[in-house]
Amino acid sequence: MRALIATDLSEASLAAVDAVTSCNPVDFSGIVLVHAVDLDLYTAGGTVPAVLELAEESLGSIAEDLRAAGFEVEVRAEVGPAVEVIERVAAEENADLVVMSNLGKGAVTGRLLGSTAERLATAGKLPVLIERVREDAGKWCRIADHHPFGKVLIGADLTDSLQGQLVVVGNLPGLGEVRVVHVTDPGTDADLVTGELAAQASHRLPGVRVETALRQGTDKAEELLAEAAEWGASVIVVSPRSHGILHRALWGSTARTVALQSLVPVLFVPLGDGV
């Protein structure tokens, strides 16, 4: 799997790179480091060539460390809005996954999630892995210290989205255990639901240890987060729904709540035809 790591070069966003270089590295077949020079954000002065040169130098330094760790790395500093740059470079570099941090410049809570990551996740083109970071004694680091794909929890809604989720999860490097969870209203036939989940998972993930579970409750995000904590998930997989001008209302429910409150990385799998 080829990963595109998007960064605004802040210390908080660079913590996402640690998902690759930590003591439990992800065996990506290739990495593309991307920084978007959004002219609207560079009004404090400086010319575009100078900003690009500085960005390329910074990315080059990060790339050297990744290459020393054995990864094949490409560097791209491009002018344009972040979402447009990431989508274009991902297509040009044949990336399979976008990786980014939940925080960016200034570490303003929700800034990145509320803009770039949200728009990418609802665009329906590529899976987006949001790494969770925090500040500890003046330094930024990942909240999780284990392999992000060791224990994968999938939030399933029994629609076609589950098929797409299983396809993406099946391609994750270093995949360990998988738990497929469906949250439903009280009174649902648990055996019927878990049987359907197990049938789909076993078909798409042969040879992988897969468990299924049903949780009953009215707050899907709360139940998914509780299941993730109880099981010890290393990542939560959800599929945000997006349709035109309604995307914010739809994104603002289960998927966004999970993204904002999860203590482990969140992997968004689009519902588009590309999955």
Three-state SS for 209? Answer: coil
Q: Are 15 and 136 in contact (CB under 8 A)?
A: no
Q: Which of 114, 142, 170 is the last residue of a domain?
A: 142
Q: How does pLDDT run along the chain (275 residues), one tens digit per residue?
A: 999 999 888 777 787 787 777 767 889 999 999 998 877 655 455 567 788 888 899 999 999 999 998 999 999 999 888 888 999 999 999 999 999 887 655 433 344 444 677 678 777 678 999 887 766 665 556 666 678 899 999 998 776 678 889 999 999 999 999 999 999 877 777 777 888 888 889 889 999 999 999 998 889 999 999 999 999 999 999 987 654 443 444 444 788 888 888 989 999 988 754 43
Could you tell me if residue 124 is inside a domain?
A: yes
Could you tell me if residue 159 is inside a domain?
A: yes
| Domain extent at residue 176 | 151-268
For residues 125 and 163, membership in a common domain is answered with no
DSSP string, 155-194: EE-SSTHHHHHHHHHHT-TT--EEEEEEEE-TT--HHHHH
| pLDDT for residue 245 | 40
Q: How far is CA 64 from CA 57, 74, 110, 237, in A?
A: 11, 10, 30, 31
**What is the C-alpha to C-alpha distance for residues 37 and 16, in angstroms, rounded to an integer?**
19
| pLDDT for residue 115 | 63
For residues 112 and 13, membership in a common domain is answered with yes
Beta bridge partners of 238: 268
For residues 6 and 36, membership in a common domain is answered with yes
Instruction: Work out how many domains the chain is built from and give that number.
Output: 2
Tell which residue, 65, 64, 68, 86, has the closest CA to residue 3: 86
For residues 241 and 174, membership in a common domain is answered with yes
For residues 40 and 71, membership in a common domain is answered with yes
Could you tell me if residue 275 is inside a domain?
A: no
Q: Which of 142, 167, 191 is the last residue of a domain?
A: 142
| pLDDT for residue 235 | 95
| pLDDT for residue 270 | 83
Could you tell me if residue 273 is inside a domain?
A: no
Q: Which of 142, 175, 193 is the last residue of a domain?
A: 142
| Alpha-helical segments (H) within 109-253 | 118-121, 161-170, 190-204, 220-231, 247-251
Domain CATH code at residue 18: 3.40.50.620
Could you tell me if residue 274 is inside a domain?
A: no
For residues 134 and 61, membership in a common domain is answered with yes
Beta bridge partners of 210: 178
